[in-house]
Structure 1
Amino acid sequence: MKRLSNLSILIILMSAGSAWAHPGHADGGFAAGLAHPLLGLDHWLAMLGLGLWSCAAAIPRKALATVCAALAVGAFAPLALPAVEPLLAASVLVAGLMGLGATRLPAVLGLVLAGVFSLVHGHAHGQETAGFAAAAGALCMSLGLMAIGWLAGRNTRLQKLAPALVTLAGAGMLGFA
Structure 2
Amino acid sequence: MRIRWMLVPLFMLAGAGGALAAQCPELLRGDLPKLRAKEQVNLCEQFAGKPLVVVNTASYCGFAPQFEGLEAVYKEYQGQGLEMLGVPSNDFKQEAKDAAETAKVCYANYGVTFTMTEPQPVRGADATHLFRELAKQSNAPKWNFYKYVVDRQGKVVASFSSLTKPDDPQFRAAIEQAIASHP
User: What is the TM-score normalised by the length of structure 2?
Assistant: 0.27
Q: Which has the higher strand share?
A: 2
Q: Which has the higher contact order (CA 8 A, sep 6+)?
A: 1
Q: In proportion to residue count, which structure has more helix?
A: 1
The structure with the largest alpha-carbon Rg is 2
